[in-house]
Structures are given as structure tokens and as C-alpha cells.
């Protein structure tokens, strides 16, 4: 069981202290996420791909397998990986420091024990220098306390994201965790198709086939180095970077092309929930106005 420092509220999540564990979880969630990708039909914008926050960690939700169903969950309370069939069979393995190759081998063994046959692409995605899961033999870190804190941040963030979603009458995504980019997001749609941008691959074309304003949280991976909330519009409307949004700590990151509010500027406030909601609503309004969305039709008033 994790200690009290990560048991509630908005816990500290300094990237420098848990980067190694986050990188481990990035690979492990990709392995489980690729199982979900293989067992579910394509849904618009790849909504069949993500994982979801559970009462104990991150999970796939139920996936059809023949006449049965399978769900897989990272339990960040007891620090175990659970694989469960609707028929009653289940397998669990402890989450611990080990190589990606060893985790992958044990994971495939769990699937075999449940008589589940799934073809998984062993190459990680959305990384600068990927190593095949079965060839990544370097021992990886796993700090239970920080895995637990990360889950607690997702739990708190999901509460605010869900409340934010209720004010929108248009198409809106579930609140979900993308294991490729290792971030947590919710997305609103204007309903209008988006022009195809140069250099987009098939995955991006599906993800950004329509105009979106997306908000999310990521812990600092990808070289950013600091946990932060973000909000962006795709395509980016002209002049969005000049918009003034709230709270005062939020800013436009020119390199990323999106609004950023650092996690520590949220969790240290007297009302982290109110601060985050102010950011979400302010950034969305700036993007929707710049992109000339029909806000009267799309929003609940």
C-alpha cells in the first residue's frame, strides 16, 4: 500500500524524482494498450485505443473475446497487474522493478494462461528511439509511491474534466488516457471537418479529421520536464497565441503551440479544482472564439 503522501488531494509529482518510473509505465501501458487496440473495432478518432481511470489505477474496460470478455487493470494501490475474464478466470502479477522484456514475457504468459490469443506489435510508438518490447532488457525502475501519486493526480483531474464536459452540448470525447503519448485528455469538436495538414500520417488524419479543442494533463515526458495541463486547438486559429487567458500563471507556449498551466501552479492553490476549471474554460473560450465556433449552439447556457 502506498504511503500517506500520495493517498489523497493533489500530491507533488516532481518529474526529476519519478522520471524513471514514468518511463517504465509508459512502456508497460503501451503493451496493455496494444491489446485493447487489437481486440476492439476502430472508433472515431481512435477512441477504442485509450485506457481509463479506475478505482485502483488504469484499465482497459471490458473487451470482447469470443463469447467471453476480458479486462486488464494496472492496480496502483496494491501494485499489481490484473487480467480478468467474465467467465471467472483471472491472473495477477506484481508490479515491480524489471525490464520491459521481462514484463512483456510475463504478460504474454498471463494471456496464454487465460487462453487469450492476441497479436501485438512489439514496437513502441510515439518515441524518438523505440526499442522492441522483447529486446528492451535494461532493468527498469518502479517506485510504488510515485505510481500511486500519478494515479491520484489522474483521479482528481478526471473529476474536473468530467465537470468541464457537462457544459458542452456538441460532440465531446470520453476522458481517457492515451498510452502512446502518455497523457490524459478530453476533446471537444465543432462539428466541422478539418482541412488535412501536410505531413500527417494515417493516425493523425483519423485523430484530427474534424476541428477540435483538446485539454489534458501530462506528467512531463517528451522532454518538457514538468507536469502540466494543456489546451490546444487543431487546426490552430490565427491569433490564438495573443489571447489572454486565466489564471495569471497560464501562458502560451510558442514551441508547443498550446496553452500551458503547470501542475504545481494548480495543486498549490487554495482551490486546485477551481484553478484548473478556470484554465479549461478560459483557454477553450479563447480558442473557440478565435476559430469562430458556433458557441451558442454548442454550449449549455
| Cα–Cα dist 86/48, whole Å | 20
Structure confidence by residue, pLDDT tens digits, 2-25: 433 334 599 999 999 999 999 999
Q: What is the pLDDT of residue 8?
A: 56
Q: What is the 3-state secondary structure (H, E, C) of the chain?
A: CCCHHHCCCCCCCCHHHHHHHHHHHHHHHHHHHHHHHHHCCCCHHHCCCCEEECCCEEECCCEEECCEEEEEEEECCCCEEEEEECCCCEEEEECCCCEHHHHHHHHHHHHHHCCCCCCCCCCCCCCCCCCCHHHCCCECCCCHHHHHHHHHHHHHHHHHHHHHHCCECCCECCCEEECCCCEEEEEEEEEEECCCCCCCCHHHHHHCCEEEEEEEEECCCCCCCCCEEEEEEECCCCCHHHCCCCCCCCEEECCCCEEEEECHHHHCCCCHHHHHHHHHHHHHHHHHHHCCCCHHHHECC
Q: What is the pLDDT of residue 5?
A: 37
Q: What is the pLDDT of residue 198?
A: 81
What is the domain partition of the chain in residue ranges? Answer: 13-135, 144-298
Low-confidence ranges of the chain (pLDDT < 70): 1-8
How many of the other CB atoms lie within 10 Å of CB of 269?
A: 16
| Cα–Cα dist 113/89, whole Å | 9
Residue with cell 496493455: 32
Nearest alpha carbon to residue 100 among 17, 29, 184: 29
Q: pTM of the full predicted structure?
A: 0.95
The residues near 97 (Cβ < 8 Å, ≥ 6 apart) are 24, 139, 140, 141, 142
Nearest alpha carbon to residue 207 among 229, 167, 235, 226: 235
Strand partners, 217: 184, 229
Q: What is the CA radius of gyration of the chain?
A: 19
Amino acid at each position: 500500500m502506498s504511503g500517506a503522501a500520495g493517498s489523497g488531494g493533489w500530491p507533488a509529482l516532481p518529474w526529476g524524482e519519478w522520471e524513471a518510473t514514468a518511463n517504465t509505465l509508459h512502456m508497460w501501458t503501451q503493451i496493455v494498450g496494444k491489446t485493447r487496440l487489437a481486440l476492439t473495432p476502430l472508433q472515431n478518432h481512435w477512441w477504442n485505443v485509450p485506457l481509463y481511470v479506475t478505482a485502483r489505477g488504469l484499465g482497459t474496460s471490458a473487451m470482447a473475446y469470443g463469447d467471453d470478455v476480458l479486462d486488464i487493470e494496472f492496480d496502483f494501490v496494491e501494485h499489481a497487474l490484473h487480467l480478468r475474464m467474465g467467465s471467472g478466470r483471472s491472473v495477477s502479477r506484481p508490479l515491480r522493478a524489471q525490464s520491459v522484456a521481462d514484463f512483456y514475457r510475463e504478460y504474454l504468459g498471463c494471456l496464454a494462461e487465460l487462453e487469450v490469443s492476441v497479436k501485438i506489435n512489439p514496437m513502441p510508438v510515439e518515441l524518438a528511439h523505440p526499442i522492441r518490447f522483447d529486446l528492451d532488457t535494461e532493468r527498469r525502475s518502479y517506485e510504488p509511491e510515485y505510481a500511486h501519486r500519478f494515479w491520484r493526480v489522474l483521479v482528481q483531474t478526471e473529476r474536473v474534466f468530467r465537470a468541464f464536459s457537462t457544459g458542452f452540448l456538441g460532440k465531446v470525447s470520453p476522458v481517457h488516457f492515451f498510452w502512446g503519448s502518455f497523457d490524459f485528455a478530453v476533446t471537444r469538436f465543432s462539428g466541422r471537418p478539418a482541412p488535412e495538414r501536410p505531413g500527417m500520417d494515417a493516425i493523425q488524419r483519423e485523430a484530427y479529421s474534424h476541428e477540435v479543442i483538446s485539454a489534458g494533463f501530462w506528467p512531463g515526458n517528451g522532454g518538457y520536464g514538468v507536469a502540466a495541463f494543456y489546451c490546444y486547438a487543431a487546426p490552430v486559429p490565427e491569433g490564438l497565441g495573443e489571447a489572454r487567458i486565466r489564471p495569471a500563471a497560464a501562458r502560451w507556449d510558442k514551441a508547443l503551440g498550446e496553452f500551458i498551466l503547470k501542475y504545481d501552479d494548480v495543486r498549490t492553490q487554495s482551490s486546485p479544482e477551481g484553478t484548473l476549471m478556470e484554465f479549461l474554460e478560459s483557454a477553450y473560450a479563447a480558442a473557440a472564439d478565435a476559430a469562430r465556433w458556433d458557441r451558442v449552439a454548442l454550449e449549455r447556457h
